[in-house]
Chains A and B, each alone.
Chain A
Amino acid sequence: MKKNVIEVKNLEKYYEVSGGFFSRNKDIVKAVDDISFEIPFGESLGLVGQSGCGKTTTARALCLLDPKTGGDVKFYNNETENMQNIDNLEDEELKKFRRNIQMIFQDPYESLNPRWTIKDIILEPLNIHNIGDLQDREEAVVEILKTVGLTPASNYLPRYPHELSGGQRQRVSIARTLIMKPKFVVCDEPTSMLDVSIRISIMDLMLNLAKDLEVSYLYITHDLAVARYMCNRIAVMFNGKIVEIAETEELLNNPIHPYTKRLISSIPVPDPSYDRKVYDVNYDELDAIIAKHGTDNPMVDIGNEHYISTHDVKGLI
């Protein structure tokens, strides 16, 4: 049995939207609706889907940035060696939890404070968590810059984010994330803003760090080709629900759910002689079928640890 770093069960995040100041009617937007998955140590899970399907909301709920409205999230506690529920964590425990779970954001232009130097940016988490004395912290910063490939460190420490290229900035975000030695990192499209040529080097860096530092990733992207390169397993999300989850190659070679097929068929193939067949799905119909089905017994195993949601989509296949 593999040890899990995080277990998510029936996670829900509902938002209330009112119809206006005088309106009593309140609508509920189910941004994340009853999703479950687990990630073993050292493995990464890709979360793919279109814009607005709830990928980022899931990530923010896991990191406790936006509190979830339902479900259980359990995180491996390395002191008790048990899975620990992340609800109602008290001060010290919450701090410990936050040390172990970190996030890399999409836009390296917006997620770094433009008035801070690179040194300040990477030092901040150490200061907040009060780790070591000043000298230890500075040594740690130099060390982590080396790890993410920004050498010599003295060249980068006094500089400001605007003096760096997009790829270098994303390396700084990764350094800031990893300096806490987290066990689990949520990556929200970390390479979508970068140029093709730089993208691969950032992806390779993250893969190598995962191996060396035993970090697990939840990798959020809309590009299945990127997810294939980065992840052991892929979960496909549609309108707040996970509709299919499987090993990466299994999912790509044997997709069952119509939405998964649609996603795979929409990725351009870098080969002019390849004839890509577009698989089209009517989203409104698909959505109506999923909504009608409700939430009981949502996923079924069809072998090879390949799970699909059980709502009746035969009419669309």
Chain B
Amino acid sequence: MSKEVLSVKNLNMHYETLSGDVHAVKDVSFSVKEGESFGLVGESGCGKTSVAMSLLQLQADNAKISSGSIQLDGVELVGMNESELRKVRWDGISIVFQGAMNAWNPVVKVGEQIREAIREHYPEKSKAENTEKIESLFKMVGLDAAVIDRFPHELSGGMKQRAIIALALSCDPKVVIADEPTTALDVVIQDQILNEIKKVQQLLGLSLIYISHDIAVIAEMTDQMAVMYAGSIVEIGPTEKVFSTPKHAYTRLLLESTPSVVGEKKKLRSLDGEPPSLINEIIGCSFSPRCPDPSSDCENPIKEMGLVEIEPGHFADNCCVDCG
């Protein structure tokens, strides 16, 4: 059995705003093993990206991790100072950002921007060594070596995204976070990028955290997955189990609202209403106002919320385990 590379325990994070604290990440726990890919799925604003940013501690200034622990290979990241964190970022955990278009500096050549990251972590390496490294990375993600001397505006969206993946791999990280790496791309390019990520992950034995709102992509890319709603994980387990026997009402709705090109054409279900405000404390099940068939128990404030194990490794929120 492979060992755990990253383990997150009871992570709580909030943003301090003028109208009150926004609890974006609530009591989130998960772990990622070596060479495994872990998916995080949920709608906009459910806290997926906030989790990713907490892992790298790249959150905005008003964000505070109030409690919990993030351990990378047994080393605690919460509470580290900035210079210690700089060593972990990119070397330990790196990230493929959402919009490839916005992630690049438009006035610096692509190769130079990757070189900058390597130089920061390995100042002893020569320029020639770095160039060689970048060329091999580009080859791995299917880019021509000539792209090193191009400016970001000379590349297509797909090429920029490939280069971003190369950048994320440039310091041989243990864990790579891919935050919606294909949302801005069309389907064929998305398919190519997904294959590239899968290939690289297997080749290098990386641990991957894949964040997406598209449950079809999660189905293809991940071994383990977690469904997030209103800042908390409501269901977590092996991807195949979550898809075959979804327990939480929200997971079931997500599955039933995704169109597919294979199989019978079926009526899709829509999810009405909006997610709750994360400023106020939520009593009872956070999903009950939008639940298609809530039981009287759902809003019962006495009932203990939290994840319970349904089958080995598959956990779901206590509230919805009994329904449906």
Q: Which residues of A contact B (CB under 8 A)?
A: 50-51, 165, 195-201, 203-204, 222-226, 228-229, 249, 252, 262-274, 276, 278
Contact B191 A197 (CB under 8 A): no
Residue of B188, B190, B254 with most chain A CB atoms under a 10 A cut-off: B188
- Please tell me if B249 contacts chain A, counting CB pairs below 8 Å: no
Contact A249 B243 (CB under 8 A): no
Question: Nearest Cβ in chain B — how far from A173, in angstroms?
Answer: 18
Residue of B44, B216, B261, B265 with most chain A CB atoms under a 10 A cut-off: B261
Chain B hits for A197, CB < 8 A: 43, 253-254, 257, 270-271
Chain A hits for B243, CB < 8 A: 270-273
Contact B214 A262 (CB under 8 A): no
Chain B hits for A274, CB < 8 A: 219, 262
Residue of A225, A266, A272 with most chain B CB atoms under a 10 A cut-off: A272
Chain B hits for A200, CB < 8 A: 257, 259, 268-271
| A-B CB contact pairs (8 Å), 15 listed | A196-B258, A197-B253, A200-B269, A200-B271, A201-B272, A225-B259, A228-B265, A266-B190, A267-B191, A268-B216, A270-B215, A272-B220, A272-B239, A273-B240, A278-B191
Contact B261 A270 (CB under 8 A): no
Question: Nearest Cβ in chain B — how far from A274, in angstroms?
Answer: 7
Known: A197-B271, A201-B272. A268 touches B257 (CB 8 A): no
Looking across the interface, which residue of chain A has its beta carbon closest to that of B190?
A266
CA distance A198 to B157 in the complex (A): 26
Chain B hits for A224, CB < 8 A: 187, 261
Which residue of B187, B215, B263 is within 8 Å of A267 (Cβ)? B187
Chain B hits for A196, CB < 8 A: 43, 213-215, 254, 257-258
Contact B259 A228 (CB under 8 A): yes
* B106-126 with Cβ < 8 A to chain A: none
Chain A hits for B255, CB < 8 A: 270
Contact A269 B219 (CB under 8 A): yes
Looking across the interface, which residue of chain B has its beta carbon closest to that of A53?
B186
Contact A51 B260 (CB under 8 A): no
Cβ-closest 9 pairs across A and B: A266-B191, A197-B271, A201-B270, A268-B216, A225-B259, A270-B216, A200-B270, A222-B186, A272-B219
Contact B274 A267 (CB under 8 A): no
How many residues of chain B get a CB closer than 8 Å to chain A's CBs? 39
Contact A266 B271 (CB under 8 A): no
- Please tell me if B194 contacts chain A, counting CB pairs below 8 Å: yes
Contact A249 B265 (CB under 8 A): yes
Contact B262 A269 (CB under 8 A): yes
Question: Nearest Cβ in chain A — how far from B142, in angstroms?
Answer: 13
Chain B hits for A204, CB < 8 A: 268, 270
Contact A195 B43 (CB under 8 A): yes
CA distance A263 to B253 in the complex (A): 27
Which residue of A203, A263, A269, A276 is within 8 Å of B187 (Cβ)? A263
Chain A hits for B188, CB < 8 A: 50, 262-263, 266
Chain A hits for B191, CB < 8 A: 265-268, 278
CA distance A264 to B188 in the complex (A): 9
Chain B hits for A203, CB < 8 A: 268
Contact A271 B219 (CB under 8 A): yes
Contact B259 A226 (CB under 8 A): yes
Looking across the interface, which residue of chain B has its beta carbon closest to that of A168?
B274
Question: Nearest Cβ in chain A — how far from B272, in angstroms?
Answer: 7
Chain B hits for A229, CB < 8 A: 259, 265, 268
CA distance A228 to B191 in the complex (A): 19
Given contacts A225-B261, A272-B243, 9 further A-B contacts (CB under 8 A): A196-B258, A198-B271, A201-B271, A222-B186, A249-B265, A263-B187, A265-B191, A266-B187, A269-B262
Chain B hits for A267, CB < 8 A: 187, 191, 216, 260-261
Question: Nearest Cβ in chain A — how far from B254, in angstroms?
Answer: 7
CA distance A277 to B147 in the complex (A): 30
Chain B hits for A228, CB < 8 A: 259, 261, 265
Looking across the interface, which residue of chain B has its beta carbon closest to that of A252?
B261
CA distance A213 to B267 in the complex (A): 21
Known: A195-B43, A196-B43. A50 touches B187 (CB 8 A): yes
Question: Nearest Cβ in chain A — how far from B107, in angstroms?
Answer: 24
Chain B hits for A265, CB < 8 A: 191
Chain B hits for A266, CB < 8 A: 187-188, 190-191
CA distance A269 to B254 in the complex (A): 14
Chain A hits for B217, CB < 8 A: 268
